[in-house]
Amino acid sequence: MNSSLLPLSGRIKGAVRERAARAARRLGVQRARPMPTVRVGVVETFERPWVEGWIAVPVGAPAVPVSLRVNTTDVLTTWASDPARRRVPKSDVRRFRFAVNSLWDYVGPEDRLSVVVDGARLPIARHGTYYRPQADGGRPFAELTGKLRDGHVFSRTGWLQLSKKLDTAWQRRVMTQVGRVSEFVADRFGYAPFFVYGTLLGAVREGGVIGHDSDLDLAYVSTFSSGADAARELRDIAFALIENGYRVRAHRTHLSGRDVIR
């Protein structure tokens, strides 16, 4: 049998595509979902401690990876998923933010910093598509890339640290403190503290801690239904912890503590 390659009319092409699509559906074959196309975006802040901005993507698009690049090396990647207070017709506008305190120690005026999405550089307000640091950080960029290869990450506040997934000494220390604080609060106030926020996310999603985290988050369910009463109770818990040798700082919404000193 001879075979021939012939041009197809538009109607025949459509029929062939439809038959192929029906066969693919029957076989459970799905076309790979393409990455969202960024329609517009801008980096609004590029300085210590934050690099932040927004992008506009098609409505309903999944989260988009955004990378902070030094010359040709991506040193940080985050996901643009949270809504931004910007209006772009027929688009979802998402914000992104990098915490970059330690980065400035490893870059200088000869380096070109950029924010990259889908392989393209975003414009940076008042700087074009590149940002050049005004001062030399004093440490070689190769030292930073070496630390990143060895398991260091930027923390939530932008400081370079050994990933908490690898820092077993930190894990032992904070889990010991969590156990002591939980036992104290349970004995004195009758509450059983539990993991919340990033600590809970790490425990469920990753079976441990999140590498860039810097603390553990605990909560309890107060028996008080009044905000004022719950606040007074939290104050009492803070004073009781301090009286028993814990270093505690009170904030408007929570308490933060450091290592046990007793």
Could you report the per-residue pLDDT of 173-225, keeping only the tens digit for each?
Answer: 888 888 888 999 999 999 998 888 878 877 887 787 777 777 788 888 999 98
SS3 call for 174: helix
Cα 72 to Cα 109: distance, rounded to the nearest angstrom:
15
Q: What is the pTM of this model?
A: 0.69
Tell whether 128 is covered by a domain.
yes
pLDDT at 132 over 50: yes
pLDDT at 17 over 70: no
SS (H, E, C) 67-126: EEEECCEEEEEEEECEECCCCCCCEEEEEEEEECCHHHHCCCCCCCEEEEECCEECCECC
Choose one of 161, 191, 214: the last residue of a domain: 161
Same domain, yes or no: 127 and 189 = no
Domain range for residue 63? 40-161
Query: Phi then psi for 120, rounded to 5 degrees?
Result: -115, 145
Tell whether 30 is covered by a domain.
no
Same domain, yes or no: 140 and 87 = yes
Could you report the per-residue pLDDT of 40-76, keeping only the tens digit for each?
Answer: 999 999 998 999 999 999 999 999 999 999 999 999 9
Choose one of 161, 185, 200: the last residue of a domain: 161
Q: How many distinct structural domains can be found in the chain? A: 2
CB-facing half-sphere around the CA of 102: CA atoms within 13 A: 20
Band the pLDDT of 16: cuts 50, 70, 90.
very low
Same domain, yes or no: 119 and 211 = no
Tell whether 7 is covered by a domain.
no
CATH number of the structural domain spanning residue 76: 2.60.40
Higher pLDDT, 250 or 54: 54
Same domain, yes or no: 76 and 141 = yes
Choose one of 161, 179, 194: the last residue of a domain: 161
Strand 248-250 with 255-257, pairing: antiparallel
